[in-house]
Structure 1
Amino acid sequence: MKQKLVIGTRGSKLALWQANYVAGCLRARYPAVEIVLKNMVTTGDRILDVPLAKIGGKGLFTKELEVAMLNGEIDLAVHSLKDMPTELPAGLVLAAVTDRVDPGDALISPAYKTLANLPVNARVGTSSLRRKAQLLNARPDLVIVDLRGNLDTRLKKLTTENLDAILLAVAGLKRLGWDAHITQILPQDICLPAVGQGALALEARAEDTATLAMLQFLDHEPTRQATLAERSFLSEVEGGCQIPIGVYGQLDRAGQLSLNAVIMSPDGKEVVRDTAHGRPAAAAVLGQTLAVRMLDNGGREILAQLFTTK
């Protein structure tokens, strides 16, 4: 067992909460081990004046942490799983996936409370193409305003940019104790979450068996299986934050894994929805199979139009 672990993290309030949460779990489990946090700045943190969908590329919030890991500067990194590319750099592995917090999307609208109550042509802020497409599918009249920045910055922009509502992940708000701001958690038939939303991912070097063994107790198998299906779906579709897809997997009481997904055009007018069920042990195959079926049933045409208009 190692005597010291260095955890890499972004410097936002939410990222620090997540890293400190993991650090606290490790200190409780291994009281004799020194746990150190190292703050780092990622590309996604630096570029705040351009919509995520236009920046493109993968690993906007993970690359710098991964380079530091491969260089031996840190032992592990704590990410929001939804920020992680489906393909990790050679030499790195997903060491643990934590028990998932609420995966939903929160509407914050002090004046109107719910999506249905928003006035015609209401201004709604979100940085997510996935959220934009699903919002416009439900309410084509809405005016979507790009919203970048850390969680606290986006909350402030609700007022400073004269927005009627904003959308944020429920999990982040709950982790920071800001869930009182939530006026509605959107039902999944309106807005399916991003891949891995609500779960934390611990990434480490594949060869660092000591660190991997120490992190094993934080791995929550039902969440890992569900998110494996989601990430397999995303990998087959070859999507990222610039593609409007939502997908959510969960284990039912009988122990079966269900996977719900949607592929949409950015304006929300073209939609392919589907559901698959299977054994948790076959999570990756389940995600891949559902993706292929949805691509064959119209999803491929939606994505082709998206790429030709870029």
Structure 2
Amino acid sequence: MSRVLKVGTRGSKLALAQTEWVVNALKQKFPDLRVETVIIRTRGDVITDRPLREVVGKGFFVKEIEFALLNGEIDFAVHSLKDMPTDLPDGLTIAALCNRVEPRDVLVVRGWQGDESDLNEVVEHLPERPKVGTSSLRRQAQIKNAFPNWQLCELRGNVDTRLRKLDEGQYDAIVVAAAGLMRLGFQERIACVLPVEICCPAAGQGALAVEARVDDEEVLSFLM
């Protein structure tokens, strides 16, 4: 194939790792396939000084990438499925869904030295009123219901940034998606997995979506 396919992605380590996984999977099936990665900054990457729920709009981590796809600047895109709105722009389709990894949320605790444990043991390790970081309103509401004495604090940033803020002592624990830690090789940081009865994960969490133009039959032939 003479055409070099361009894949669009955000520039975080997690986004790049996820895109690399998809590209490697494609090359295993099509060894001669040539793919170039194009990094695109989204609104969610730019706005870091306040919770996204305070900003009007949706698709904060995908919209700019979808614009580039519609304009022909890239040929396909890799997203975390949970970041995608339920309605796709006209002309685009989800061409592939990758195998889903652990979909649940996890608790990462500052100074935790043990192996992954159960929730009760981890809770006993925490202070009486721990500062727990998460910017997700979904997570905050569910955790507040289960643990009314926990102090829930805003936490933005990519996985590396969140772990750094935890280790610096800004929080006693943070709540993040297991999938992100696993894909970056940080699974040893998981203190415990949060049962879905306590913290139900976002729809599509742990899955990757590959988006393409509906009329690009050549690209779709590789992805579908």
Q: TM-score, normalised by structure 2?
A: 0.92
Would the alpha carbon gap of residues 215 and 21 (structure 1) be closer, same or farther in structure 2, given more than 3 Å must change? same
Which residue pairs with 2:31 in the alignment? 31
Is 1:156 aligned to residue 171 of structure 2?
Answer: no
Q: Cα distance, 1:111 vs. partner?
A: 4.3
Preserved CA contact (<8 Å) 1:3 1:32: no
Q: Cα distance, 1:29 vs. partner?
A: 1.3
Preserved CA contact (<8 Å) 1:78 1:202: yes
Q: Cα distance, 1:165 vs. partner?
A: 0.3
Moved more, 106-115 or 174-183: 106-115
Which one of 145, 149, 165 corresponds to residue 137 of structure 1?
Answer: 145
Is 1:63 aligned to residue 63 of structure 2?
Answer: yes
Which residue pairs with 1:99 in the alignment? 99
Separation in structure 2 between the aligned mates of residue 186 and residue 135 of structure 1, nearest angstrom: 10
Question: 1:176-187 alignment to 2 at 5 Å?
Answer: 176-187=184-195
Separation in structure 1 between the aligned mates of residue 74 and residue 129 of structure 2, nearest angstrom: 48
Separation in structure 2 between the aligned mates of residue 151 and residue 110 of structure 1, nearest angstrom: 15
Separation in structure 1 between the aligned mates of residue 211 and residue 169 of structure 2, nearest angstrom: 36
Stretches of structure 1 that go unaligned for 5 or more consecutive residues are 217-310
Q: Cα distance, 1:122 vs. partner?
A: 1.0
Number of matched pairs: 216
Q: State the Cα RMSD in Å.
A: 1.5
Preserved CA contact (<8 Å) 1:2 1:210: no
Question: 1:218-257 alignment to 2 at 5 Å?
Answer: none
2:36 aligned partner, one-letter code? V
1:193 aligned partner, one-letter code? P
Preserved CA contact (<8 Å) 2:110 2:166: no
Stretches of structure 2 that go unaligned for 5 or more consecutive residues are 113-120
Q: Cα distance, 1:116 vs. partner?
A: 5.2
Higher relative contact order (CA 8 A, sep 6+): 2
Would the alpha carbon gap of residues 87 and 171 (structure 1) be closer, same or farther in structure 2, given more than 3 Å must change? same
Equivalent residue of 1:136, what SS?
helix
Separation in structure 1 between the aligned mates of residue 19 and residue 220 of structure 2, nearest angstrom: 16
Q: Cα distance, 1:110 vs. partner?
A: 3.3
Q: Cα distance, 1:160 vs. partner?
A: 2.9
Which residue pairs with 1:86 in the alignment? 86
Which residue pairs with 2:177 in the alignment? 169
Separation in structure 2 between the aligned mates of residue 124 and residue 2 of structure 1, nearest angstrom: 51
Q: TM-score, normalised by structure 1?
A: 0.67
Equivalent residue of 2:122, what SS?
coil
Q: Cα distance, 1:119 vs. partner?
A: 2.6
Which residue pairs with 1:188 in the alignment? 196
